Amino acid sequence: GESVGLHLPTLSVQEGDNSIINCAYSNSASDYFIWYKQESGKGPQFIIDIRSNMDKRQGQRVTVLLNKTVKHLSLQIAATQPGDSAVYFCAEGQAGTALIFGKGTTLSVSS
Amino acid sequence: EAGVAQSPRYKIIEKRQSVAFWCNPISGHATLYWYQQILGQGPKLLIQFQNNGVVDDSQLPKDRFSAERLKGVDSTLKIQPAKLEDSAVYLCASSPPPTDTQYFGPGTRLTVL
């Protein structure tokens, strides 16, 4: 089946910088997109989601942007902190169905 | 609010042995999912339940994997017999109606020797 992919497997930033993690998806029928953060030894933790009728959604220090024209999703983290270091997954889905995950981007934040 | 609970957290078995994992979803969450996460990859769906009925088990290797959610709450996932390639983290997730947001448990890390 179709799956979600990520542009970069790793991203290294300095504390206080803004981070941008990108994701490309392939299923035009997907109408729900979500970002998860996964720390070592833990399950994925919900960060933020967005539906296909929106282009942008903001949370606390995080923003998700959706470009349906080019099937692109991004997660922006403002003022990145060492505690943000983790693997970030984007996932796509449709109402009531399971999510399809990409391979993840490892974010490393140095102080 | 308590999160998704899973047990055991770790399990080591030899190939051809059987193993079972348990999941207790967040109270009130009708939908329950089991995912398999191989090291370095994103989670992949094994099976989805809505209450005690199966919604999607198309990716479940049914010759060796089975899952049930008899009373529409807790769920068990079983592997019999296990193969080396089953080594992975098995994640349980649940979501409340009518949202699609899935909340994950800590997972069970299975090592098959």
Q: Does A98 touch chain B (CB under 8 A)?
A: yes
A41 contacts chain B (CB < 8 A): yes
Per residue in A61-94, pLDDT (tens digit) is 999 999 999 999 999 999 999 999 999 999 999 8
- Which pLDDT value is given to residue A8? 79
pLDDT-derived band at A97, boundaries 50, 70, 90: confident
**CA-CA distance, B22 to A41, in Å (whole number)?**
17
Chain A contact for B63 (CB, 8 A cutoff): no
- A64 close to B (CB below 8 A): no
The answer to whether B91 contacts chain A (CB < 8 Å) is: yes
pLDDT on residue B90: 98
- Residue A4: what pLDDT? 55
Give the tokens for residue B34: 């089991």
Whose tokens are 């042995």? That residue is: B17
Which residues in B lie closer than 8 A to residue A32 (C-beta atoms)?
Answer: 100
Mean pLDDT of chain B: 94
Going by C-alpha positions, the residue among B13, B37, B40, B20 that lies closest to residue B105 is B37
Q: How far is Cα A103 from Cα A101, in angstroms, rounded to an integer? A: 7
Q: How far apart are the C-alpha atoms of A26 and A6, rounded to whole Å?
A: 11
Distance from CA of B77 to the nearest CA of A (A): 17
Alpha-carbon separation of residue B86 from A92, B6, B7, B17 (angstroms): 25, 18, 17, 12
Is-contact A73 A88, C-beta < 8 A?
no
User: How much is the pLDDT for A82?
Assistant: 96
Residue A5 has pLDDT above 60, yes or no: no
Strand order, beta sheet including B19-24: B5-7, B19-24, B75-79, B65-68
A103 pLDDT tier (thresholds 50, 70, 90): confident
Q: How many CB pairs below 8 A link A and B?
A: 55
From A43, A25, A8, A38, select the one nearest A100 (Cα to Cα): A25
How close, in Å, is residue A68 to chain B by CA atoms?
19
Q: Is the pLDDT of residue A26 over 90?
A: no
